[in-house]
Amino acid sequence: MILGNWYYFAVSLGIGVAVYRRAGEDFGSFFLGNQQMPWWLLGISMVATTFSTDTPNLVADIVRSTGTVGNWTWWAFLLTGVFTVFLYAKLWRRSGVFTDVEFYELRYSGHSTSRR
């Protein structure tokens, strides 16, 4: 590894340790940052989680299988991302849930969503 990689690793580790100490008080503070983060920042974070190393592969596959018109398919993600930041993040915070599973339990009144 070159020096820049070690520097990046050290800074990332330092930030992680500092945040862990502040957010490790209880379950809510660990997952929700004591609810001190603004809703718009949480919304941006929710959108950012949809982009990963497989996103370029997805876009390339869409264009390969549908042609250049397929670019419009993934541009629709922009619209859903805007909704996530400005609508869903506010509603998610207002619901008082921590995780996706808690949201599903709230939505379906604690009943299993699977067929029996």
Three-state DSSP string of 8-43: HHHHHHHHHHHHHHHHCCCHHHHHHHHHCCCHHHHH
Considering only CA atoms, which of 38, 16, 20 is closest in space to residue 29?
20
The CA distance from 6 to 17, in Å, is 16
pLDDT of residue 23: 64
* Both tokens assigned to 73: 């398919």
pLDDT of residue 116: 46
Could you list the pLDDT tens digit for every one of the 116 residues in the chain? 688 899 999 998 988 887 776 666 677 676 666 777 777 777 777 777 777 788 888 888 988 999 988 888 877 877 877 887 778 777 877 887 877 788 888 888 755 555 44
pLDDT of residue 115: 46
Considering only CA atoms, which of 78, 76, 74 is closest in space to residue 86?
78
